[in-house]
Amino acid sequence: MNKVIVITGTSSGLGLSLAIKLAKQGHCVYATMRDLSKKGELVNASYSQDAKLFIKSLNVSDTTSINTCINEIIKEQGRIDCLVNNAGMGFIKSTELASETEIKEVIDTNFIGVVRCIKAVLPHMRKAGSGHIINISSVGGLIGQPFNEIYCASKFALEGYTESMATYIPAFFNVKFSLVEPGGITSEFANNLLARYKMEPDNNANDYEPCLQQYLSGAQKRLSKADSGDIYQTSSEVADCVVDVINNPNPPLRVRSSDWANNFCAIKTQADPDGLKLVKQINELFLS
């Protein structure tokens, strides 16, 4: 059966690719974004690939915006079968150099924004007795990385939150939870993030400079096509992984989107790669 699917952060990259793929499969896709003036790339892709979808405004940092969008979709379709929390932001900066405003923005976008969206959608899914919520995480939600501590903290929070929800919501309300954990995704977003960091004042004039330059040099090299190897995937490749999770009647709690990501996280995930053993253990301990 075709599903009513809501996706956040679809103006570019993974969100855009995912929206197009799902629409082409015949699902009823609501592609949302904070700024509708940036919908041009999605509109062009939908026309060129004959992918019919709906585009709506949704700002994950604004509860009113979220509730308005979700209520409109419920009024139009009567249900939401799947929510993909894809909207997010990268952030490369050491703790000492990051402002409190920047830290709050990262946490708000990558974690609290997800909670806001789930709070808006979950009551409708519970009432329907079914649903699937997919949170786009990262290998950075499992493994800390240099100069990414704020970003990783936001994704660690997302992992813990989703894991906790998965220990009781599916069993009692039949609403499933999944985390998709990509490695690097090749995109202008990633390149711009590195370029912006190198251009910001004072970032290179401090005690972190030797470590920073080594990190940036390696990151830029890995982003280049010649040296990307298996580390980076395209948005389309990661979107294929998300589509598989959506179409899986028994989806995993956790899934990495590449062999590289699996190997990178194996030190933490090898005992329970899909996370379902943990859910069973917690259910038996707390809810039996």
Residue tagged active-site, from 30, 47, 151, 197: 151
Nearest in space to 275 (alpha carbons), one of 163, 197, 189? 163
Nearest in space to 258 (alpha carbons), one of 239, 283, 282? 239
Residue type, 198: K
Cβ neighbours for 47, distance < 8 A, ≥ 6 positions apart? none
Instruction: State the burial class of residue 108 (Cβ atoms within 10 Å of its Cβ: 0-12, 13-18, 19+).
Output: middle
| Chain mean position to CA 235 | 12
**161-75-86-133 Cα dihedral, nearest 10 degrees:** 40
Q: Tell whether the torsion through CA atoms of 184, 242, 279 and 63 is positive or negative.
A: positive
* Secondary structure class of 253 (helix, strand, coil): coil
**Where in 122-226 does DSSP place strands (E)?**
131-136, 175-181, 184-186
Q: How far apart are CA 241 and CA 181, in angstroms?
A: 10
Q: How far apart are CA 204 and CA 195, in angstroms?
A: 13
Tokens read off for 184: 């690097």
* Secondary structure class of 148 (helix, strand, coil): coil
What number of other Cβ atoms are within 10 A of residue 204's Cβ? 14
Q: How far apart are CA 160 and CA 183, in angstroms?
A: 19
Q: Is residue 151 annotated as a catalytic residue, yes or no?
A: yes
Q: How far apart are CA 80 and CA 235, in angstroms?
A: 24
Question: Could you give the residue numbers annotated as active site?
Answer: 151
